[in-house]
Amino acid sequence: MQRIRLRYTKRGRLRFTSHRDFQRAFERALRRSQVPMAYSAGFTPHPKVSYANAAPTGTGSEAEFLEIALTEARDPDVLRELLNDSMPDGLDITDAVEARTSGLADRLTASIWEMRLDGVGPEEAEKAVAAFNTAETVEVERRTKNGMRTFDARAAVVELRTVDLPSDRPGDRACAILRLVVRHVTPAVRPDDVLSGLRVVADLAPPVAAAVTRLAQGLFDEESGTVTDPLAPDREAAPAASTTATGTAVATAPEGAGSA
C-alpha cells in the first residue's frame, strides 16, 4: 500500500467551503480520476483519507494537508494533476509527495496567518499590536458546544506584527495587514481569537469582517522562529530510499547472475 501526502488550498469564494463540503468534493475527484484507493473494512467501507488540522470555515488557506492510501503505486505529480482537473477552482492541489516518514500531523505544530483589516488604519493597527505584544496575558471568550469558555490568547502567539500594504493597492481606503505566527495548542488559538484579543487590549474593532488566510503550517523551528515545510522530510527521504533500493539491487545481482 502506497501513501501519498497532498497540500491543497482554499481560495476566493471557496474559503467558505466547510470541511465536510471539501471531503465530498475530494472524494468525487478521487472517483473521477480513478485513483486506486484503499478502503476501510466493515459494513460501510470508506476511502482511507486522513485530514490534518483543517482551517476554520470562512478562512482562506494556502497550506492544508491530507494523506491518502492507495492499493497501487502512482507517481505523485501525475496524481496531483489528475485530481486538480476534477477539483473546483479554488480548491487546488499544489503539492504531492510519497509518504516516506511517519507522523505528518505531528509536524503541524504552528501556522502563519495573514489578516486583512479593511477600515483600519496602519497606525491604529500598530498601536493595537504593540499593546497585545506587551501584555502578559490576553483573556478572550469563545462559544463552544459546552458554552462560553475563557482562555489566554496571548501565550500561543509567537509573533504578531503589521506588514506593508501592496504597492499597487488603491490608497483611498484605510486598510491594515497583520501577520500572525501561532502555535497549535489546546485549546486552539485561532485568528479570530487574536482579533478578539486586540479588541480587549486596544479596543480595535474593524468595521467589516477580517479577511483571514493561512499562508503556511508546519513544524515550528525554535532557533530560526520560522514554520518549516511539513512535506520536506518526505522529499529528503526519497533519494535515500532510492539509493538503498539501488544498493540492494546491486548486492543481489551477482547471486542472481550465478543462478542463471
End of a domain among 85, 100, 115?
Answer: 100
Only one residue has cell 500531523, namely: 105
Q: What are phi and psi of 231, to 5 degrees?
A: -90, -10
pLDDT beyond 70 at 38: yes
| Domain count along the chain | 2
Taking each helix axis from N to C terminus, what angle separates 76-86 and 19-32, rounded to the nearest 10 degrees? 110
In a shared domain, residues 124 and 213: yes
User: Does residue 122 lie within any of the structural domains?
Assistant: yes
Same domain, 112 and 193: yes
Residue, of 154 and 256, whose pLDDT is higher: 154
242 domain-assigned: no
User: For residue 149, what is the domain's CATH number?
Assistant: 3.30.70
Q: How confident is the model at residue 167 (pLDDT cuts 50, 70, 90)?
A: low
Which pTM value belongs to this model?
A: 0.87
Given a cut of 50, whether residue 259 has pLDDT beyond it is no
CA dist., res. 160 & res. 132, Å (int): 8
Q: Please say if the pLDDT value at position 251 is more than 80.
A: no
Cβ atoms of 51 and 31 closer than 8 Å: no
- The pLDDT score that the predictor gives to residue 238 is 80
- Both 167 and 122 in one domain: the answer is yes
- For residue 64, tell me if it sits in a domain: yes
Confidence of residue 146 (pLDDT cuts 50, 70, 90): confident
**What's the mean per-residue pLDDT of the chain?**
89
Mean pLDDT across 226-255 = 64
Return d(Cα 52, Cα 237) in angstroms, integer: 21
User: By percentage, how much of the chain surpasses pLDDT 70?
Assistant: 89
* Residue with grid cell 544498493, as numbered in its chain: 247
Same domain, residue pair 71 and 92: yes
Residue that terminates a domain, selected from 58, 74, 100: 100
Domain range holding 222?
Answer: 107-227
> Given the C-alpha cell 516516506, which residue does it identify?
100
Q: Check whether 250 has a pLDDT greater than 50.
A: no
Residue 205 has pLDDT above 60, yes or no: yes
203 within domain boundaries: yes
- 132 and 209: one domain? yes
What is residue 47's DSSP assignment? B
What SS3 state is found at 159? strand
* Position 81 pLDDT exceeds 50: yes
Q: Mark residue 142 as left, alpha or beta (left: phi above 0; alpha: psi -120 to 50; beta: remaining).
A: beta
Res 254: pLDDT: 37
